[in-house]
Copies of this chain bind each other. A is one copy, B any other.
Amino acid sequence: MKKTIGILGGMGPLATADLYRKIVLLTKASCDNDHIRVFIDSNSHIADRTAAILSGGADPVPEMESALRNLEKCGADCIIMPCNTAHFFLPKLQEKTKIPFISMLEATAKACAKQYPGKTAAILATKGTLSTGLYERALEKENVSFVLPDEAQRDMLMYLIYEVVKASKPLEPELENWAALLLQLRKAGADYFILGCTELPIIADTLPIVGPFIDPTAELAKAAIRFCGYEVKE
C-alpha cells in the first residue's frame, strides 16, 4: 500500500493551493488513480507566524495542532507545511504526533547543494523566518553558501508577501520592485534565489523575471512524492 500525504495548510491558503497543485503536476501519473491520496486542512484560524516570533502575536500552535489532529484522523502517513516560517514550530508539533513531518527547508537545502554546487544563494524570506536562522542552519548543513537581504530588502519582501500576495492585490504593478530586489541581491553576490516564503513562488510564476530560482514548494512536493513511494515526473 502506497503512502498518503497530509497538508497542514492555510499558511497561506493560496500557497496551500500551490503546494497541492505542484504535488499533482509533479507526480508521474496517467490517470486519476495513479495519484497520491492527499488530505488537506486549510485552517484559516492559524495565527500569523512572523507576528508570533517577532512581536508577541498570538501563538499559532493550538490551531496548527487542531489541523494536525484532523490529518491524523484521516490517516496521513506524513505531514507537510506550505509555510517556511511555520517550520520554527515544527519541533513542538513533531512532539505531539508520531506521523513524521517532512521539512521544506531540508528539502530545499539538499536541492541547492545538488543543483548549484559551489554557487551562492540569496535567501528571500519573511522577517520571521530570517530571525530564526532556520534557513542558514539548513544550508550550512549541506555546505551551501548564501547571502541575506539587508534591512531595506527585508522591508520590501514583507511588503510583497503581506500587502500584495496575502492581501489578494494584483502582482503586475510590483514587477519593478521585484526586479530591483533581485538585481541588488545579485550585486551582493547571489548566483540564484531561494523563494523562501511560500507566497513568493506565486509571484515568481507570474512575473516574467528570470531567476534562477529554487522553489521550496516544489522541492517539498517532490520530497513528499518520493516519501510516499511514487515517482517524480521529470
Contact = CB atoms under 8 A, between A and B. Distances in A.
Contact of A40 (B33, B39, B162, B166): B39
Indicate the member of A11, A29, A44 with the most B CB atoms within 10 Å. Answer: A44
Nearest to A2: B44
B45 A37 contact: yes
B41 A74 contact: yes
A128 interface: no
A199 to B, nearest CB: 10
8 contacts: A10-B32, A11-B32, A14-B21, A17-B20, A32-B48, A35-B44, A39-B42, A40-B40
Given A13-B35, A14-B24, A35-B42, 12 more contacts: A10-B35, A12-B35, A17-B24, A30-B166, A30-B168, A31-B162, A32-B166, A33-B46, A35-B44, A36-B44, A40-B40, A73-B74
